[in-house]
Structure 1
Amino acid sequence: MVANLSQGGCKQLHSAGPDDVDIFEATYTLQVLSVKSVANNTTTGQDRFRIIVSDGINFVQAMLATQLNSLVAEESIKKHTILSITKMTCNFVQDKRLLIILSLHVVEQSDVKVGDPQPLDAPKAAAASSTTPTASTSLRPAQSSAAQSKPAPQRAAPSAAATNQAQAHGSIYPIEGLSPYQNNWTIKARVTQKSDLKTYSNQRGEGNLFNVTLMDDTGEIRATAFNAVALELYDKLVEGKVYYISKARVNFAKKQFSHLSNEYELGFEKSTMIEECLDLTNAPTIKYNFVPLDQLETIAKDATCDVIAIVKEATETNEIYSKASSRNITKRELTLVDQSQFQVRMTLWGKQAENFSSKDQVIAFRNVKVGDFGGRSLSFFSSSSMSINPSTDEAFELRGWYDSAGKEQEFKAYASSGGGGAGGGGPAFKREEIKSIMDIKAEGSSTSGDKAQYFSARATLLFVKHENMWYPACKGENCNKKVAEAGGEWSCESCQKKWPSPEYRYIMSLACADHSEQAWLQGFNDVGEVIFDHRTATDLHQMKEDEGENKFQAFVQEHSCETYNFTLRAKLDEYNGQSRVRYGISKIMPIDYKEEMKYMRDQLLGDWGQTAV
């Protein structure tokens, strides 16, 4: 049963003036509509969480005090949680009231949203009575009289046209508050990414489409326009600019086309209103979560991340032929470096590759895809964006480091260990950290939650489970989803394409052992191609069809009894209501005897070999 909310509570919290109280204590029962991590507090290094809370009638934004962060980490506070808030304070940032929750307790967890809450018009704070706090002071209950007497920073007043525009649009909805059940809303959002105008073809004919990523202070959402609407709006939306947007359709997100966490997306229609924002005083700014280049191994393969780096080198463009699209695609490779003294390859495609000319510049890359070719690599794809020489502290620091010392440094490069590895993400194989299967099982048994443990191992392949060793996959570029046969064609529900035949991909279950114990290991397409000498699952499927089951099984058996180096991933899984630890293959590498001998030689000549027995 959902607890009764304090109706009118959001309005009361939002109506108090800045001089009424610094810390006020009262009990309000409110529901959480969203929880969002924001940029780290640079003073304390702690995460901050912005939440939207509702009383069933209205909703407002608030920040959690950092001492409440553990409630988010342990998921006591999440979407639809009912809270009893007992102590709060407030700050005014850029003439906006920001509530800060200091004390609360969780009433209950709910799966539904209470009521149909609407946003409140935020009362403007008097400029003379407030200053803009920094992250390190935002939780202080009171300021000294000297600090309060300081005049507020002077800002250029918005033009009359900008003021009239803001008044005309009235209440602004946060992106996190959008849902298909609301019609009358306006968002104020920055375009952080805009795709090319693309053509498509299906059973209903040909058309055009493009998509944009929109961002405000509460989150991001993807928006797509088709056909005549796409042609009308494409030149109107400019990457980096801020717009008022209304009368778009809110749909459930198609996750196969977007990496964003938002469960909804926008569809632009003929009635959609888009107007460039004239007053950028309170405009949302692009937020990054930069990953140093030496930490890319902690990011899973095919995940996205943000990096900021110097472009040390850039190749000339070249063209490669794409079987999936049956056309040539332009490609350019960049070498990125940063203060971690690592370098990594970034691949640009299409127009981004053709138009790039920013060697030796600082570039902030957003939402780039992490690959594991050659250890670790990055790829710029449709929803990625870049900002050249951004005005951020990270960019200025990186520029100073590179000009003063970085140009002359040697950089470490990612590389596959052991020669010719294959598989998913995870750390590189490390010979000095090889563990026995018995030890891996003992340590892996302590795995909990969604967190995986990684191990380096060496084991011999004893048996390949040859039943259901592959699945029919879509031939679409970067799709690989399972397809179903119907009427002589193979259809993909994910990308809505049809093919005369599928591409088969491996799903491997392997019995492997070392001197201590045996384990069943799970692997995917790259693992199968390593084991079967680069023969694809399509090749083996055809062999089985043409030469029969016996010949196929004999071929599989011939490729057992080989020893490999592995990077293994231990992760807790649930099957038939029971929890168990599954061991997946992140990397598999045939034994490179030259590398093994070199490692043994180094051990003998090092401290270990020279220590007297």
Structure 2
Amino acid sequence: VFPIQHVSPYQGKWTLRVRCVKKSEIKHWTKNNNVSGRLFWANFMDDSGEIRATGFNDDVDRFYDVLTEGQVYYIHGCNVVAAKKQFSTLDNDYELIFRRDSVVEICSDVTSEELPQIKYQFVALEEVANMEANQIVDIIGLIHDIHEVSTIVSKGTGKSYDRRDIVLVDDMQRSIKCTLWGKDAHEFKLSPGTVYAIKGGKVNDFNGKSISLLNSSLTAANPEISDAFRLRGWYDTVGKDCVNFNSISNSGSGISGNNNRSSENNDKRVTLDSVISNPTLGQDNADNQGRGDYFSVKASVVFIRQETISYPACMSDDCNKKVIEDSNGEWRCEKCDKSFERPNHRYILSIDMADYTGHTWMTAFDDTARIIMDGIDANKMMELKENDYDLYQAIFLKNLSKEYILRCRAKVEVFQDEPRLRVSIVSATPVDFKLECQNLINDINRY
């Protein structure tokens, strides 16, 4: 068995025993001369380092389904070439190219203790504040806040990208925003309080430091490592009651024009009266750069409109566009150019929220609306609306009067030539009454 760190074009015969830690989706490409093809890549590691292997065209069929993330393999018979650093962040000057005679075999002849494990070189969250943009780092923290999936459009290409922001905290009471993209953003199912390790995240420097996950980044929930055990011990004894964290990402305070939806500074919430009475709320200005204003508030559900609660969306992965029913009874997505037997209903709830100072109507989209609807998805609710209307209404009644910590976005939009203020719920967290009591005690003690 040959270590990864010794693999080079000058070594003719070698066999690697490596763990597959990341496998890409199959990608299709076309060159200017109308030549097209397919490719995928997989990242492998052993105790000595990491290396990427790429398969093209027929090798996609040969090896893609053989490789599974987390599994250990014997690999030999690949070409060794100079690494294309513009496509990979691995710390290796070389990478592998699968070929017809390449061999990939599952390793089953050694104990689990002998198999290579993922190695981290963690950087403390406070150290990220002093790092340069685009540096690649490993970090670990506890999930403190989770935002819903949103879409941004690239000014350069016009392409849209789905993203989800989460906030990690550590036992030094630091916090940092981390961004997941595409499929990772949609499939994120972890809960606050989970220890979360990121290997190979990229440092961003816009409105403070944050971490962006790359295609090659690795993540682990509650990994069996000493740093995770330390954080878990801190959280269980002290951290779960902490309120104030020092953010190295730009954090919102009251009503803010910054596009930061973290609710980590709970002592800086606003009241609904201050929101409603603000004459410039949501208007475009130099501060918010047309993105709207953000604020945090503690409010209760007064009423949920039941007439229209969702829209029929595309069934394709990473596509949430509205579909239209055609004359054949199928549902067609113009963006994907596909038809489906049924749509995937996604929430768009209109909710009257109130606190002790006032009330206002807000819109909750799918991820956040599911929290407010006690975990019931829109497809189930639409089914009940057709088949059991009494239960449909009962579910709405059950979820009234519940109290949440909300992170909201206010934006003035023009509808039929009339400007209207629209308030959207970006994230909703059920009120932890024990924590709220501690917050009040802390506020009292300050005076």
TM norm structure 1: 0.39
Q: How does 1:82-231 map to 2 (within 5 A)?
A: 172-203=1-32, 204-231=34-61
Deviation at 1:232, TM superposition (A): 3.1
Deviation at 1:187, TM superposition (A): 0.4
Q: Distance in 1 between matches of 2:199 and 2:162?
A: 21
Partner amino acid, structure 2, of 1:201: T
C-alpha distance after superposition, 1:72-92 (max 9, x if no partner):
xxxxxxxxxxxxxxxxxxxxx
Q: 1:249 to 1:351 in 2, by over 3 A?
A: same
Q: Unaligned 5+ residue runs, structure 1?
A: 1-171, 422-613
Deviation at 1:188, TM superposition (A): 0.5
Q: How does 1:361-510 map to 2 (within 5 A)?
A: 361-409=194-242, 410-414=244-248
> Does 1:267 pair with 2:100?
no
Alignment coverage as a number of residue pairs: 249
Q: How does 1:63-74 map to 2 (within 5 A)?
A: none
Q: 1:322 to 1:271 in 2, by over 3 A?
A: farther
Partner amino acid, structure 1, of 2:212: S
Deviation at 1:207, TM superposition (A): 2.1
Question: Given the alignment, which residue of 291, 307, 315 partners 2:123?
Answer: 291
C-alpha distance after superposition, 1:552-609 (max 9, x if no partner):
xxxxxxxxxxxxxxxxxxxxxxxxxxxxxxxxxxxxxxxxxxxxxxxxxxxxxxxxxx
Q: 1:260 to 1:358 in 2, by over 3 A?
A: same
Q: Unaligned 5+ residue runs, structure 2?
A: 259-447
What residue in structure 1 maps to residue 77 of structure 2? 247
Q: Distance in 2 between matches of 1:359 and 1:324?
A: 34
Q: Distance in 2 between matches of 1:324 and 1:202?
A: 20
Q: Distance in 2 between matches of 1:404 and 1:197?
A: 45
Q: 1:268 to 1:323 in 2, by over 3 A?
A: farther
> Does 1:276 pair with 2:109?
no
Q: Which has the higher contact order (CA 8 A, sep 6+)?
A: 2
SS of 1:250's partner is strand
Partner amino acid, structure 2, of 1:346: C
Contact conserved, 2:143 with 2:191, CA < 8 A, in 1?
yes
Q: Distance in 2 between matches of 1:282 and 1:267?
A: 26
Runs of 4+ in structure 1 off by over 3 angstroms are 322-327
Contact conserved, 1:375 with 1:414, CA < 8 A, in 2?
yes
What residue in structure 1 maps to residue 282 of structure 2? none
Partner amino acid, structure 1, of 2:247: A
Partner amino acid, structure 1, of 2:105: E
Q: Distance in 1 between matches of 2:99 and 2:157?
A: 28
C-alpha distance after superposition, 1:119-171 (max 9, x if no partner):
xxxxxxxxxxxxxxxxxxxxxxxxxxxxxxxxxxxxxxxxxxxxxxxxxxxxx
Contact conserved, 1:290 with 1:307, CA < 8 A, in 2?
yes
Identity %: 41
Q: How does 1:552-571 map to 2 (within 5 A)?
A: none
Partner amino acid, structure 2, of 1:300: E
SS of 1:396's partner is helix
C-alpha distance after superposition, 1:414-464 (max 9, x if no partner):
2569x999xxxxxxxxxxxxxxxxxxxxxxxxxxxxxxxxxxxxxxxxxxx
Q: Distance in 1 between matches of 2:36 and 2:153?
A: 23
Contact conserved, 1:319 with 1:330, CA < 8 A, in 2?
yes
What residue in structure 1 maps to residue 165 of structure 2? 333
- Please, what is the CA RMSD of the aligned residues? 2.2
TM norm structure 2: 0.53
Q: 1:303 to 1:387 in 2, by over 3 A?
A: same
Q: Distance in 2 between matches of 1:385 and 1:362?
A: 14
Partner amino acid, structure 2, of 1:186: T
Partner amino acid, structure 2, of 1:401: W
Q: Distance in 1 between matches of 2:132 and 2:61?
A: 37
SS of 1:377's partner is strand
Partner amino acid, structure 2, of 1:225: G
What residue in structure 2 maps to residue 28 of structure 1? none
Partner amino acid, structure 2, of 1:195: S
Q: Distance in 2 between matches of 1:388 and 1:293?
A: 17
Contact conserved, 2:161 with 2:182, CA < 8 A, in 1?
yes
Q: 1:231 to 1:313 in 2, by over 3 A?
A: farther
Partner amino acid, structure 2, of 1:378: I
Contact conserved, 1:183 with 1:247, CA < 8 A, in 2?
no
Q: Distance in 2 between matches of 1:319 and 1:231?
A: 33
Deviation at 1:205, TM superposition (A): 2.3
What residue in structure 1 maps to residue 406 of structure 2? none
Question: Given the alignment, which residue of 343, 349, 358 partners 2:190?
Answer: 358
Contact conserved, 1:337 with 1:343, CA < 8 A, in 2?
yes
SS of 1:353's partner is helix
Q: Distance in 2 between matches of 1:369 and 1:236?
A: 29
